[in-house]
Structure 1
Amino acid sequence: MLKKLINHENFKSDTIYVSVIILIPIIVSLIIYTNIDIEEEKIKTVIIQPNIDPYNEKFNRSNDQNLRYLESILNDVKNRNSLVILPETYFSDGSLISSLNYSTIIEGLKIIRERYDTEILTGIELYDVFNDSSKVKKYSNRLENNRWLDLFNASIFISEDIDIYKKSKLVVGIEKMPYKNFLEPLLGSLLIDFGGLSYSRGYQDYRTVFKSNTGTKVAPIICYESIYGEYVSEYVRNGANLLAIITNDGWWNNTEGHKQHLSYARLRSIETRKNIVRSANTGISAVINYRGEILKTIGYEQEGLINKNVGMNDKITFYTKYGDYIFRLCLFFIIIISAFYLANLLKVKK
């Protein structure tokens, strides 16, 4: 019976048709992969993985401790004039936004920058406490005594100037309270008593690109944001020539989670044809080229640094311009096919 099925003319033609559909994209991808060559300028980078336990140690360290650790690491780095990348919420003790420029964090980072001739991109917790109700945003957290709290998982860039980016793709249930406008009036002050877990993080509506006088235009992508292709492409449309992913993958422990998160980064490099520098508190820190190839890594639960020259380019890909067009095309064809199917079904019933 199987022999008859294989010999059947329709089976053979269908097999050829399906094989062609599968093979053509593979062949085209291989041709693109082997022929792509993008002209790039190089920048020295230092990617640091401190490997601090996020459950027991990370959020008990002071900003001064983290500054001393950074300086001790850079003392051993021979290269100067480098871009230094530190992980998400590296300065977890936080800083008040209104006094950030005069804080011990910024003063310390400025000294390190001048001493080691570097530019520094690092994660930081920022916050603002205020009484003025006219400043209240959708994400503001109500405190007692008519006060409000804005919290931000942010990154800062220390160069000639200081720039800030606030993480905007927030993890639901951890950084963002779902249905907050609905639940807060119902639960009221109970939200304050949940050990801070209910505090939502703030965000911004545009993708900031950190720019320096050396030509670096780096995208500060914070953790969860890196899984969204179209979101990351907004940085490139805003001028980014290098992608920096800062993350804290230790929450997963030694599971597949941190490995899958790294795999998403490879997709982002292919979509945008940008090199990626990735700093994880712990997880897998890495350098990834615009082909999606991992060039260098620091493994899970390892402390260390990557010292490597990385390329920057201004290429704008089709994906960067038009986003998830494959998904949209598939959705369009599904709608058309479904419409034809329903039309034929109605004809048969008549």
Structure 2
Amino acid sequence: MLLLNKEKSSEGADWRFCVAPMMDWTDRHCRFFHRQLSRRARLYTEMVTSGAIMFGDRERLLGFDASEHPVALQLGGSDPVELARAAEIGAGFGYDEINLNCGCPSDRVQSGRFGACLMAEPELVASCVAAIKSAVGGQIPVTVKNRIGIDEQDSEADLTRFIETVAASGCEIFIVHARKAWLKGLSPRENRDVPPLDYERVYRLKAAFPELTIIINGGIETIAQSAKHLEMVDGVMLGRAAYKNPALLLEVDAALYGETAAPLRPHEALERMLPYIERELERGTRLSAIARHMLGLVNGRPGARPFRRLLTEESVKPGAGLDIIHAAIEAARRVEEAPSLAA
């Protein structure tokens, strides 16, 4: 059965299309930019450790613009008490969801006993989820992002046990990266490409747990591919493709949500960024901190390289300001008017 038109209880509680949490990428400037491209996509923060929230600069770590909704906070950690407190603080900032990271394979994350290595301890994950749910009082969803397996613990039975155990603690929403993680011997970069994708396993997981919301992640590159996955699962999550080719987000609202308004053109999305950039510059934000997220906006089209070069080279100069963005708007307009490569 096609699930393309499946609606959740409210617009803010819809996981049909999500942009993945990505370290060093999905900061608040990136998310604000992505929100200009899609009104409906669900956005995620970078992973923030519970310890950082407990002892760090919370406004810097957790602050976001109201226009980013729906936006989720992804937490990293393994101490139920500390995670509960961090989640409570995050909920106080107004996030629409608390997500627990059980999928990151980096050595640094493993040394802190969180990320993908937690899949070896489903009972601990269940305790963490239960503590988080209690802390936020059922006001916002608590979700888990996990792999299909880790190291030698990668059978379908292992994944089923993990999902069953964590679901018993009250988690109803799982974002499943359709690759196992090799925690010994592969780098985080290699873990994004080397283990083979197994979408069918995620489909079978949804069939086995029809009462759960299952979002598929890993290797999805287009909106057409997203729509195909939505025939089998409840939602899709795109990571690198959405970041490196953000213009695909312009297709989301019409293709996956049935919106009838004409999508913005790239130069119009940049125009929408002007008030935000002006405010941020007044606060002392460097233009390059915002502009770096826009570099791929016209990728794959004639004129994309000069557009990228303009933003890359000019935004880092001392005193770089709105004139650079105005120039980028004109460069994007020229790209839109140029004949396509397929013509």
Q: What TM-score do you get using the length of structure 1 for normalisation?
A: 0.41
Q: What TM-score do you get using the length of structure 2 for normalisation?
A: 0.41
Higher strand share: 1
- Indicate the structure (1 or 2) with the bigger Cα radius of gyration: 1
Higher helix share: 2
